[in-house]
Each structure stands twice: as structure tokens, then as C-alpha cells.
């Protein structure tokens, strides 16, 4: 038995399972993961990974990225006012807003692309053709829905307009129905299963193909209204049949998913605190799949912040881009799946990038991984002497971890100390005394990185 007053060494394993825990809107305090994600293995252990990097896949003439899609093995993209098929310029388009894409398979398969001010069709036989029918609405909300041969779009007054069967260049003035269970404005339109989804300001409505003989074929699905609307139509993303969007009610903002017509909130209270303070006038949203994880990525450009949701672990993190001078929001505006790789479009250069864990940088720019832990006090307010920290992770040559701590609730930080993760036993000695402490772990080496935990050798002191 230890003598009274003597310290007792107590090894403690500290898992690095971290959820955002910001106490208010800024993300400068409390726990978070930046440019990383958590992976739960079958044995129940959690590991933290650095996110995948990017590399240019298709180098296009520089310009604003306005949307990409892959269809039938061909990559289509809009850069500034130019529509590209692969790397071939095929025509000019409107630049009022970014583009969304859909497909028509009946008759001659065609690609349908639209923004809020114009719409176009493309096929290899006809090339790029603008929709000029006077019955096509002059202003639409983001998105479209293809159902049973008809292409549907919605205008800001929540009127849903339908094209002729298998011909989205022709629109009938009578083929229209208004989403009017509640008197709010239209924000975006999408599709789930065999239903057209109308996202409005405060509510979301559902329609089915009732094959009506006159007017619109659509009729509302009674009882399927969702009492959450959409803040910005650019936030709506179809993630393999599940619709994700930045939602709002009269009580605030949140991120919702619609799966089999069931709406569920996926944002946490900590994320909601961030959302309530965001400028939602400029939003980018997209998704990608990586190593068994699917991520919904949401950027608030004017706030310089990108949030990412991992569907597998149901956890949030942040993504940043290292410009060499500052850590900025992640500058991707659109994505597509090529059947082999994840492709993403850059915001300012319009280039198409491959996202892959084989890349350890963002096209040569370093990725700064940061993990900030919650405050730790060991369950008491005694002074504690931390003799040593062992870092449990992958042993990779050239992999360096920079570690610092805060003992005053994230207000000030110690200098970074370097841990060589290529060693058999990476550790830090003589880590000082504290009553409560938070750690920041930073990794910027051009290597993979996977961490499991920190083992703390602590001597308990007196009150």
C-alpha cells in the first residue's frame, strides 16, 4: 500500500473518439476533428484517420466551377460559362447560378442541365440545346426531378412544372401544380423513390404520379408533409437515394435527412449552435464515398467553414484547405462518382480532382489534421503530474505528430512538441502538472495517419 501523501502512478488509456463540442458558434474552443474522421472496427475499437487528399484528374481552362456529373462513362462539367464533354468545349451556358443535372432515358437518352435561370439538353446527336419553350418558367429553384418520363422543375412560388413525356424541350402551360399545403415559398426540388419532393421555406411536401388526365400528372401524398423547410436549395444533396439538406423550422436551423419519406435530424446540438450563426447566402454541398464511409460536405463560404457528416459513424468533423498562408473552407462545389473514383470540382479553378486516400496532400498543398480533445480532469480537481504519454497509432516513416496542451480552458496553448510516429514506441516525457487539460494533436506530414489513443502515466497529487 502506498504511504499517505505519496503519489500513485495510474496508467490511463484516453481514446481519441471526438465529436464537435463547441459551446457556442465559434469553433475555436472545445473538442473537434479537422480533416479527419473516426472509424469503428468490428472489435469495437475506434481509430482516427486523416481524410483523403486530392489530385487533378482533368485539367480544364481556369474558371468558376459550376457543376459536374458522370453519365454513361462520360464526364460532363460546367466551368464559368462553358459546357464541357470530357475536355471538349461544347457550348456556352448561362452563369447566373451553379448547375444541377438529370437524365432522360426514353426515346433518345439526353442529359438535362439547369440552373435557376436557364435549362439545356445535351445528346451526342444534337449537341447542346437551350430550352426556349415560353412555358418553361423564367426562374426556378435548384434541382429537378425525373419521374415516369416527365422532367419536373419548381419556381419560387412553389409551382411544380412538368415537361412533355420524354421531351424536356417542350413544356405545357397546363402541366403545373402548386405545393400549397402551407403558404411558403419554393426553395428546391428533388426526388426520392417514386416521389417528387418539394422543399419549401418552412415545410416539405411530397407528390406522386397520379396519371391525371388533365393538368399535372402529380397529386400530393396526403399526410406526408414534413414540418421542416429548407434554408438554401444548394444544400440539398441526394446521397444514394437519401436526401440531405440544411433545414429550418421556426426554432432554428439543423441538418435533416429524408430516407424512405421519413425525416430525421442528423445534426447534433453542437452543430446546430454553429448553424444558427451561419451566413446561408452562399452554400456549397456535395458528397463522396471513401473507404466504407459516406460524407455529406456542407460549406458556408462567407463564414469560411466546411462541415462534414460521416453517415457510417454518425459523426461530424470539419474540412479545411491549406493555402500556405491560412486554413480556409474546403473549396469544392460539386462531385460525382465515376464508377471507379470520387471526382470533385474545384470552386475557383473549375478543375476536376480525384479524391483518394493514396494522396496525402490537396494537389500538393499540405493537409493539416487537427484533433482537439475535451478538457480532462481525471474525475477530480487534484493536481496531477503527467510523467509520460504513449501514442498508439500506425508506425509510418516520416509521420510526425505535433502535440500541445491548454490548461486554461483553450485560452492559451503550450508550444508544440514533436512525436516521431515512425518509432516503435512514440511518446512524450515530463508533460507537467495540471488540474484539467486539453490536448491538440496536429499532423501535416505527407503520409497516412491513423491514431487510436493516448496512454497517460499520471501521478495524482493533493488538493
- In a domain, residue 341? The reply is yes
Range of the domain at 104: 53-369
Under 8 Å between Cβ of 221 and 232: no
- Full pLDDT tens readout for the chain, 463 residues: 344 444 445 578 888 999 888 888 778 889 999 999 999 988 889 999 999 999 999 999 999 999 999 998 999 999 999 999 999 999 999 999 999 999 998 778 999 999 999 999 999 999 999 999 999 999 999 999 999 999 999 999 999 999 999 999 999 999 999 999 999 999 999 999 999 999 999 999 999 999 999 999 999 999 999 999 999 999 999 999 999 999 999 889 999 999 999 999 999 999 999 999 999 999 999 999 989 999 999 999 999 999 999 999 999 999 999 987 788 999 999 999 887 889 999 999 999 999 999 999 999 999 999 999 999 998 888 999 999 999 999 999 999 999 999 999 999 999 999 999 999 999 999 999 999 999 999 999 999 999 999 999 998 776 6
Judged by phi (left if over 0) then psi (alpha if -120 to 50, else beta), residue 385 lies in: beta
Which residue is associated with the grid cell 421519413?
262
Does residue 184 sit within a domain?
yes
357 CB-near residues (< 8 Å, 6+ apart): 52, 53, 290, 291, 448
37 within domain boundaries:
no
Q: How many structural domains are present in the chain? A: 1
In-domain check, residue 463: no
Check residue 313 and give its pLDDT: 96
Asked whether residue 58 is domain-assigned, the answer is yes
Q: 73 phi and psi, to 5 degrees?
A: 80, 5
Task: Output the pLDDT for position 378.
Answer: 85
CATH of residue 83: 2.130.10.10
For residue 65, being part of any structural domain is answered with yes
CB distance 369 to 429 below 8 Å: no
Q: What are phi and psi of 7, to 5 degrees?
A: -80, 150
Q: What is the pLDDT of residue 462?
A: 67
* CA 326, chain centre distance (Å): 21
Q: Is residue 326 included in any domain, yes or no?
A: yes
CA dihedral angle for residue 453, residue 299, residue 267, residue 179, rounded to 10 degrees: -160
Place of cell 495510474: 10
Place of cell 415559398: 185
pTM of the complete model: 0.94
Instruction: Output the pLDDT for position 136.
Output: 98
Q: Is residue 429 part of a domain?
A: no
Amino acid at each position: 500500500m502506498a504511504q499517505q501523501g505519496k503519489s500513485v502512478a495510474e496508467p490511463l488509456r484516453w481514446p481519441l473518439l471526438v465529436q464537435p463540442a463547441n459551446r457556442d458558434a465559434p469553433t475555436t474552443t472545445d473538442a473537434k476533428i479537422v480533416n479527419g474522421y473516426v472509424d469503428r472496427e468490428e472489435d469495437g475499437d475506434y481509430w482516427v484517420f486523416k481524410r483523403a487528399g486530392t489530385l487533378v484528374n482533368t485539367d480544364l481552362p481556369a474558371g468558376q466551377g459550376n457543376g459536374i456529373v458522370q453519365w454513361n462513362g462520360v464526364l460532363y462539367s460546367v466551368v464559368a460559362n462553358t459546357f464541357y464533354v470530357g475536355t471538349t468545349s461544347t457550348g456556352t451556358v448561362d452563369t447566373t447560378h451553379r448547375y444541377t443535372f438529370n437524365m432522360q432515358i426514353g426515346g433518345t437518352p439526353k442529359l438535362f442541365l439547369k440552373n435557376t435561370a436557364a435549362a439545356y439538353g445535351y445528346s451526342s446527336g444534337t449537341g447542346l440545346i437551350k430550352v426556349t419553350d415560353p412555358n418553361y418558367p423564367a426562374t426556378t429553384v435548384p434541382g429537378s426531378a425525373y419521374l415516369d418520363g416527365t422532367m419536373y422543375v419548381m419556381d419560387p412560388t412553389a409551382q411544380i412544372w412538368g415537361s412533355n413525356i420524354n421531351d424536356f424541350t417542350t413544356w405545357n402551360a397546363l402541366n403545373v401544380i402548386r405545393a400549397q399545403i402551407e403558404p411558403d415559398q419554393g426553395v428546391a426540388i428533388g426526388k426520392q423513390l417514386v416521389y417528387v419532393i418539394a422543399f419549401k421555406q418552412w415545410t416539405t411536401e411530397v407528390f406522386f404520379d397520379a396519371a391525371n388526365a388533365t393538368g399535372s400528372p402529380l397529386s400530393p401524398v396526403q399526410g406526408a408533409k414534413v414540418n421542416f423547410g429548407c434554408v438554401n436549395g444548394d444544400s440539398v444533396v441526394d446521397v444514394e437515394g437519401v436526401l440531405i439538406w440544411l433545414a429550418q423550422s421556426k426554432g432554428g436551423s439543423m441538418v435533416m435527412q429524408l430516407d424512405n419519406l421519413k425525416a430525421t435530424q442528423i445534426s447534433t446540438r453542437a452543430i446546430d449552435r454553429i448553424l444558427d450563426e451561419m451566413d446561408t447566402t452562399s452554400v456549397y454541398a456535395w458528397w463522396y464515398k471513401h473507404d466504407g464511409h459516406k460524407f455529406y460536405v456542407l460549406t458556408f463560404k462567407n463564414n469560411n467553414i466546411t462541415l462534414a457528416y460521416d453517415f457510417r459513424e454518425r459523426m461530424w468533423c470539419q474540412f479545411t484547405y491549406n493555402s500556405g498562408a491560412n486554413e480556409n473552407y474546403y473549396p469544392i462545389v460539386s462531385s460525382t462518382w465515376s464508377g471507379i473514383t470520387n471526382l470533385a470540382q474545384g470552386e475557383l479553378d473549375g478543375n476536376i480532382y480525384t479524391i483518394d486516400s493514396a494522396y496525402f496532400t490537396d494537389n500538393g498543398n499540405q493537409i493539416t489534421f487537427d484533433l482537439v480533445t475535451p478538457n480532462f480532469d481525471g474525475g477530480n480537481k487534484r493536481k496531477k503530474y503527467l510523467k509520460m504519454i504513449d501514442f498508439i497509432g500506425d508506425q509510418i516513416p516520416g509521420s510526425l505528430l505535433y502535440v500541445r496542451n491548454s490548461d486554461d480552458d483553450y485560452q492559451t496553448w503550450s508550444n508544440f512538441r514533436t512525436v516521431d510516429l515512425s518509432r516503435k514506441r512514440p511518446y512524450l516525457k515530463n508533460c507537467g502538472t495540471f488540474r484539467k487539460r486539453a490536448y491538440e494533436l496536429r499532423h501535416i506530414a505527407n503520409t497516412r495517419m491513423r491514431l487510436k489513443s493516448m496512454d497517460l502515466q499520471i501521478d495524482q497529487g493533493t488538493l
